[in-house]
Amino acid sequence: MPLDPLLIKFVLIIGLSLFFGLAFEDFHAHTGLSQPGGIRTFPLLALTGGLLYQLDPNRRLLLVAGLLVLGAWLVVAYRRQLRDTGADQPLNFELVAPICNVLAYLIGPAALVLPPWLVVGITVAAVLLLTGRKRLHNLAQRMPIGEIVTAAEFLILTGIVLPLLPDRPVTTLTAITPYKAWLALLVVCTLSYASYLLQRFIAPARGDLAVALLGGLYSSTATTVVLARASAAEPMHNAATQAGIILATSIMYLRILAIVAIFDPSLAIGIAPATILLCVAALALAGLQYRRAPGRDSISSTGKGASPRNPLELTAAAVFAVLFVVTSIATQWAENHFGALGVNALAAVVGFVDIDPFVLSLAQGAGAMPLHALTSAVLIAMSSNNVLKAAYAVAFAGWRASRPSAIALVVLAAGGVAAAVVA
């Protein structure tokens, strides 16, 4: 016998409101402030909101009336609090408490009409924002105004430009539309920006392999250059730095797989076995190299101190957009004139520049090749990029210092080519 849907929603209301109330009380227990609401009040508010919605689901007048009563109660509570505050005491007033009370009230009707994942997500987000107050304030104080302005500019361009762009080809040279080109830019920049923020503001102060991991999520090529330079500057950290170079490449496989999955799930399924296998192999090689580090050495201060460029800067975004369009045109031309062999040759070339635009152009239909041919092209591009990184490692750190990472990258490249041949 299936469970009653209303029973499930009732349990959801109780559970989420109790969770929210517990976080609210724990937060104010640490601040020493006395605020209305808590582990008993929030479930009562949520039940009241849900009940008033059920009694009048069409006009929702009862729900609005309850919200007005709650607002009046909060006003009275704060007026009394201000009246009882002595002249020599600071005013104890903030908007977090009333907002939390209103949100607790709305959990009830939201659980009745919204998908469960959305209600759970909203509640969890509210708890994280509530309990992460100190960290968020510290992050805001450390964030330069220039970073905020850059992010704001990018969001404005994205919110205004993306909906206005046509989703149809504007030239016969490529099947990629302006909308798809901008969407690809948005996805790649968003992923890189998340890694950029983690590296710059949240990464541990001590150098460790987290630097290489986050760097691989941002750009494994740029991370290889940074770590190779660090290896040359501080040879005593070479073993850990070489492990970091290999680790960054292992994350590159997962990054490409995630980006492809957003635009072409079938292609992602096609490249998944090889990319996951290569990622595991890279992780194993990085682990073996890291075990050679004396006393589990850390990545050098030179490597951890290098800050990547903000991927949301308009110049960086414009360069990516141009590369994406040029690569998509080149891909379609190569396929029209030389077939899959031409696209594979182009894949080997773009690996020495930037593989993201090429891979995204394939995922968005720049070439109408069969799945196995697309899979081979992606794997060849990643393998070519590994050869480039091996060359960078040798160029910046020297053969003797970079030998572990260079050999590992060439081995991974050979594995990718082998997988492309049998795809």
pLDDT in tens, 85-126: 554 555 555 677 888 899 999 999 999 999 999 999 999 999
User: What is the chain's mean pLDDT, rounded?
Assistant: 81
Helices then strands (H, E): number in the chain? 16, 0
pLDDT at 302: 46
Using alpha carbons, select from 99, 116, 125 the residue that is nearest to residue 10. Answer: 116
Average pLDDT value for residue range 252-261: 90
Which amino acid is located at 82 in the chain? L
Q: What percent of the chain has pLDDT over 90?
A: 24
Is the model's pLDDT at 330 over the cut of 50?
A: yes
Residue 110: the pLDDT is 93
Name the 3-class secondary structure at 20: helix
What is the pLDDT averaged over residues 276-294?
86
Which residue has better confidence, 229 or 169?
Answer: 229
The pLDDT of residue 305: 47
| pLDDT beyond 90 at 18 | yes
Q: Is the pLDDT of residue 147 over 80?
A: no
Q: How far is CA 341 from CA 345, 346, 378, 388, 422, in A?
A: 6, 9, 13, 21, 14
Amino acid at 146: G
Average of per-residue pLDDT across 327-351: 84
Grade residue 253 by pLDDT with cuts at 50, 70 and 90.
very high
What pLDDT does 133 receive?
74
Closest CA to 10 of 128, 148, 108: 108
Query: What is the Cα–Cα distance from 170 to 185, expressed in whole angstroms?
Result: 18
* 3 state SS for 172-227: CCCCCCHHHHHHHHHHHHHHHHHHHHHHHHHCCCCCCHHHHHHHHHHHHHHHHHHH
Give the global pTM.
Answer: 0.69
